[in-house]
Chains A and B, each alone.
Chain A
Amino acid sequence: MAPLLQVDNLTIRFPRAEPVRDLSFDIGQGETLAIVGESGSGKSLTALALMQLLPRAAKVASGRIAFGGRDLLKLDAREMRHLRGRDIAMIFQEPMTSLNPVMTIGRQIAEVLKVHERLSGRAASERAVELLKLVRIPAPEKRVDDYPHQLSGGMRQRVMIAIAVACKPKLLIADEPTTALDVTIQAQVLDLLDTLRRELQMAVVLITHDLGVVAQWADKVVVMYAGRKVEQALPGDLFNNPLHPYTRGLLAASPRLKNDFHYRDGALSEIPGSIVSAAGEAGCPFRPRCAQARASCGHHVPQLTVPAPDRLVACPFTSPIKAVPHAAALSL
């Protein structure tokens, strides 16, 4: 079966930079794909490119985004508007500012129903109450007339989710949906997303830099660094046997994933340097920060290879599994 969304060789270009390069991934129906990477790795831009909502200065320089058999990059503005909010919906990072402060949440939910399902005002506000109930907001009949400032961050993110799932989209893009939230709320929101994913049979692109989130909720993980995919794996494989030095660094820097580790037991390891060093790097973008960098790393960008089924890695020096060199036949 063809995947719901297939991204091939996506390159996003700003006048002076290419923050996303040659990125490919796909998602099947009802699947959760996690895209992880630190700030500046191009995760959010990828998400915005899927929605065709890139900032004005950014352009998709090349690539293909096939959604349900149509190339989104070839649609005109009107066709894209019909997809946005109906078939592809998005939740943003900042629930505090992502809702219009001068509109009641009920009207903000109803708006998307009016646009795509041509519901009357009354029918739309009734559906808004149902949707608030769906995202587990207590007393939805009362809350529907609240303004965003009357809600907590977690509640606002639930409202955002209600807006996103209002038209039962096939694909939901969640761009760091819990980053701005309290730790206790994070799990609730992610659980809600996962429940809705199953109930509404949506595919979810979950963008995050929280590996704990990945371990618990993702079906497939793409690790990005400096705009490129450096590793792809099933979550179990990724955590048990990270291949790319960057992934290993990320895991080592993550306290929650080690059993019985407490931050007082010793310093967490860190990846030295910053992602800025990737700019203008000729070979592997991770080379300046990589502990095992060799001279040959500076020559060309490492190709993605298939070291094992369902895995991709962009580093020729991954020790544990012997790398299979040619990636030409891969279709992951």
Chain B
Amino acid sequence: MPALVRIGRTLRRTLLQAIPTVLGIVILNFFLLQLAPGDAADVMAGEAGSATEESMAALRSRFGLDNPVLVQLGHYLNNLAHFSLGFSPRYGMPVADLIAQRLPGTLTLMAVALLIAILLGVILGSLMATFAGRIPDRLLSIFSLLFYSIPSFWIGLMLIVFFSVKLGWLPSGGAATIGSRLTGWPALLDKARYMVLPATSLALFYVAIYARLTRASMLEVKNQDFVRTAYAKGLTPFGVTARHILRNALIPITTMAGMHIGGMLGGAVVVETVYSWPGLGRLAFEAVMGRDFTVLLGILLLSSLLVIIANAAVDLVHAWLDPRIGAR
């Protein structure tokens, strides 16, 4: 019971601390976006191809874009205080609805990518640590360096070229077969097929990071006294690695993974664009191109919340992995 109480208390504190953070992010971003040339009316007028001064002024006044900046900010914050993210002039619908449509796609993509990254990274890192300095370690080091340095959009394109165009194994974009009326298991399988390439492109960079991190961290743990104790008990090398080294080595990796959740949102923008994945990242990209700042602010707000929640979750995982943290 005390454990649950402690968890509850931690969460409440995290949420309270989140409020000023989120507010700061919103206000800062609001001013940053004002620096971008043009507004939604410009873009819409440009797309329409013909617009008069009057119609543009009408557009601006309808969306409140003609108000002074501070008044606009006031309106936005007022909306937020009423739990509304505002209205998108471009899509003609509430921002909250827009985000709600796209959020699940991004969340699943991120979750799958993170899972792949951690699983693959830890496995490869363990291999590298086990064979440290020998050929498997060298080879994997080269690969991880490659994945670390290649931008994800290029990996995405190459994966499409190879697996979609040449081999024809996997779809090159989208999130599900359009017009298919699959339900249940086959539908899930169909979605999974669409998930493979984008999730892999997003994950590979992080695979490289986690592999190197796992390697370093395991090599460090390996020299600690309790590992010698474990060998002195008569455990097999595999038993020592799995039960004693790995769990201790995972602690820094969870920290990094928590920090990467925010970064992954950024990476999702690129990957979703490459794979025309209907997610938040692509929405953000479109919002930037369309100068649709209410949508962009809504996404930024949500992302910051997501990162805060992820960090809180990582803290909990930490406390579970390392009993010394819970004791403090």
Residues on A lying within 8 angstroms of B by beta carbon are 51, 53, 81-86, 89-90, 92, 94, 97-103, 111-112, 115-116, 147, 149-150, 160, 163
Q: How many residue-residue contacts, CB under 8 A, span A and B?
A: 74
- Taking A82-B234, A92-B228, A115-B235 as known contacts, 12 extra A-B pairs with beta carbons closer than 8 A to each other, sorted by chain A number, are A53-B228, A53-B232, A81-B236, A85-B232, A101-B248, A102-B321, A102-B323, A111-B233, A115-B233, A147-B324, A149-B323, A149-B327
- In the assembled complex, B244 has its CB within 8 A of some CB on chain A: yes
- Residue of B226, B235, B248, B324 touching A98 (CB-CB under 8 A): B226
Contact A98 B225 (CB under 8 A): yes
> Could you tell me the distance between the alpha carbons of A82 and B235 in the complex, rounded to whole angstroms?
9
Residue of A nearest to B323 (CB): A147
B residues less than 8 Å from A115 (CB atoms) = 233-235, 239
B residues less than 8 Å from A86 (CB atoms) = 234
Contact A163 B228 (CB under 8 A): no
Contact A111 B235 (CB under 8 A): yes
Contact A116 B234 (CB under 8 A): yes
Contact A90 B232 (CB under 8 A): yes
- In the assembled complex, B97 has its CB within 8 A of some CB on chain A: no
Residue of B nearest to A164 (CB): B232
- In the assembled complex, B247 has its CB within 8 A of some CB on chain A: yes
Residue of B nearest to A89 (CB): B232
Bin chain B's interface residue count: 20 to 34
Question: Do most interface residues of chain B lie in helix, strand or loop, or is the interface mixed?
Answer: helix
> Could you tell me the distance between the alpha carbons of A99 and B323 in the complex, rounded to whole angstroms?
13
Contact B235 A100 (CB under 8 A): no
- For the complex formed, measure the closest distance between the CB of B151 and the CB atoms of chain A, giving whole angstroms: 37
Residue of B nearest to A160 (CB): B229
Contact B327 A150 (CB under 8 A): yes
> Could you tell me the distance between the alpha carbons of A86 and B232 in the complex, rounded to whole angstroms?
9
- For the complex formed, measure the closest distance between the CB of B326 and the CB atoms of chain A, giving whole angstroms: 9
Residue of A nearest to B224 (CB): A97
Residues on B lying within 8 angstroms of A by beta carbon are 224-226, 228-236, 239, 243-244, 247-248, 321-324, 327
Contact A99 B234 (CB under 8 A): no
A residues less than 8 Å from B243 (CB atoms) = 103, 111
A residues less than 8 Å from B247 (CB atoms) = 102-103
B residues less than 8 Å from A53 (CB atoms) = 228, 231-232
A residues less than 8 Å from B244 (CB atoms) = 100, 103
> Could you tell me the distance between the alpha carbons of A160 and B321 in the complex, rounded to whole angstroms?
22
- For the complex formed, measure the closest distance between the CB of A212 and the CB atoms of chain B, giving whole angstroms: 25
A residues less than 8 Å from B248 (CB atoms) = 100-102
> Could you tell me the distance between the alpha carbons of A96 and B224 in the complex, rounded to whole angstroms?
11
- Residue of B226, B232, B234, B321 touching A100 (CB-CB under 8 A): B226
B residues less than 8 Å from A98 (CB atoms) = 225-226, 228-229
- For the complex formed, measure the closest distance between the CB of A71 and the CB atoms of chain B, giving whole angstroms: 19
> Could you tell me the distance between the alpha carbons of A94 and B224 in the complex, rounded to whole angstroms?
11
Sample of 25 A–B contacts (CB below 8 Å): A53-B232, A81-B235, A82-B234, A83-B234, A90-B232, A92-B225, A92-B232, A97-B224, A97-B225, A98-B229, A100-B226, A100-B230, A101-B322, A102-B321, A103-B243, A103-B244, A111-B230, A111-B233, A112-B233, A115-B234, A116-B234, A149-B323, A149-B327, A163-B229, A163-B233
> Could you tell me the distance between the alpha carbons of A115 and B244 in the complex, rounded to whole angstroms?
14
- For the complex formed, measure the closest distance between the CB of A58 and the CB atoms of chain B, giving whole angstroms: 13
B residues less than 8 Å from A83 (CB atoms) = 234
> Could you tell me the distance between the alpha carbons of A81 and B229 in the complex, rounded to whole angstroms?
13
Contact A84 B327 (CB under 8 A): no
Q: Contacts A147-B324, A149-B327; is A101 near B234 (CB within 8 Å)?
A: no
B residues less than 8 Å from A92 (CB atoms) = 225, 228-229, 232
A residues less than 8 Å from B324 (CB atoms) = 101-102, 147, 149
Residue of A nearest to B239 (CB): A115
- For the complex formed, measure the closest distance between the CB of B266 and the CB atoms of chain A, giving whole angstroms: 32
A residues less than 8 Å from B225 (CB atoms) = 92, 94, 97-98
